């Protein structure tokens, strides 16, 4: 099993478990990752997903051993499949946290960028080294990196194949927090718990509105927001929470209805 799946309260922890290959992504790993994401998405008890790696890597990249003899047609199919899996991570209704515990290079950096929030341990390393191997990033790196860190920095990182550390990743906005390596999973679970305490319909509508808005003009984006805002007013959670606020009483637990 190259991908493990554990549940802690309302959080699913998905771990790439191929440490002998620094968790490199091949077709089999991608298929298992796709399956576990679908499992978490389909479980009503799961509110947040964490993705991490086993050993000293998050994901060190796509599997070069598998890629090196691919034809252009095979490479295109591989890239399209990896992108489809990462789009499923990005578009799943539930928040996804990347707990980056080591090398996040190439496909690993792209996997982290497909997540909603990225936390890094102090030993984490990020980069898109593909041009040093004669290829471009193939799992969304040319698209997500400039959206996250800006076009100039993204081009610098991709064109130079440079690897950066956790603090530099924090400085450029690639990650939102750096913590001690031995505190990384606890920090990710704590963050997941904070998210899980809130109204999940509102959380998911917020994610959908943000994701949609990042791909369109602001006029269209605020229309998405208005739709999400209105939908929340059809929920029991909105009515119960607002009534409790007005009445200065303790709000009941969210029912996610």
For 183-200, the pLDDT digits (tens) are 999 999 999 999 999 999
pLDDT of residue 58: 97
98: enclosing H helix or E strand: strand 96-100
* Max CA separation in the chain (angstroms): 67
| pLDDT bracket for residue 253 (50, 70, 90) | confident
Q: Which of 130, 167, 168, 253 is catalytic?
A: 130
Residue pair 120/178 in contact (Cβ under 8 Å)? The answer is yes
pLDDT of residue 5: 97
Share of residues in the chain with pLDDT > 90 (%) = 91
**pLDDT mean over 37-65:** 95
Annotation says 130 is catalytic: yes
| pLDDT bracket for residue 207 (50, 70, 90) | very high
pLDDT of residue 250: 84
Residue 161: strand, helix, or coil:
coil
Q: Which of 110, 162, 168, 236 is catalytic?
A: 110
**pLDDT mean over 209-237:** 94
Residue 251 has pLDDT above 80, yes or no: no
Q: pTM of the full predicted structure?
A: 0.95
pLDDT of residue 2: 95
Domains and CATH numbers, the chain: 3-196 (3.90.226.10), 200-246 (1.10.12.10)
Strand partners, 57: 103
Residue 69 has pLDDT above 80, yes or no: yes
Residue 252 has pLDDT above 80, yes or no: no
Long-range Cβ contact pairs of 246-250 (< 8 A, separation 24 or more): none
Per-residue pLDDT tens digits for 108-165: 999 999 999 999 999 999 999 999 999 999 999 999 999 999 999 999 999 999 999 9
pLDDT of residue 63: 85
Q: What is the mean pLDDT of the chain?
A: 95
More confident residue, 170 or 252: 170
Distance from C-alpha of 188 to C-alpha of 177, rounded to nearest angstrom: 10
Rounded alpha-carbon distances, angstroms, from residue 30 to 27, 45, 177, 234: 5, 24, 27, 38
**pLDDT mean over 174-180:** 98
Annotation says 32 is catalytic: no
Distance from C-alpha of 193 to C-alpha of 241, rounded to nearest angstrom: 19
pLDDT of residue 17: 96
pLDDT of residue 229: 93
């Amino acid at each position: 099993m190259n991908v493990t799946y554990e549940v802690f309260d309302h959080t699913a922890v998905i771990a790439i478990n191929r440490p002998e290959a620094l968790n490199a992504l091949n077709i089999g790993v991608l298929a298992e990752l796709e399956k576990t994401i679908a499992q978490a998405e389909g479980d009503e008890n799961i509110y947040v997903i964490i993705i991490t790696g086993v050993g000293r890597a998050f994901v060190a990249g796509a599997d070069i051993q598998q890629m090196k003899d691919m034809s252009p047609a095979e490479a295109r199919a591989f890239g399209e499949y990896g992108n489809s899996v990462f789009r499923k991570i990005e578009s799943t209704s539930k928040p996804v946290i990347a707990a980056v515990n080591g090398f996040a290079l190439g496909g690993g950096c792209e996997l982290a960028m497909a997540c909603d929030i990225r936390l890094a341990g102090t030993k984490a390393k990020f980069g898109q080294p593909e041009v040093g191997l004669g290829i471009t990033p193939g799992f969304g790196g040319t698209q997500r990196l400039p959206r996250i860190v800006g076009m100039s920095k993204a081009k610098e990182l991709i064109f130079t194949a440079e690897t950066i550390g956790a603090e530099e990743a924090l400085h450029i906005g690639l990650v939102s927090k750096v913590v001690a390596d031995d505190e990384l999973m606890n920090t990710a679970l704590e963050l997941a718990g904070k998210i899980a305490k809130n109204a999940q319909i509102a959380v998911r509508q917020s994610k959908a509105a943000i994701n949609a808005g990042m791909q369109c003009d602001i006029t269209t984006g605020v229309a998405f927001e208005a739709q999400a805002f209105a939908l929340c007013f059809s929920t029991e959670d909105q009515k119960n929470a607002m009534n409790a606020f007005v009445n200065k009483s303790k709000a009941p637990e969210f029912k996610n209805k």
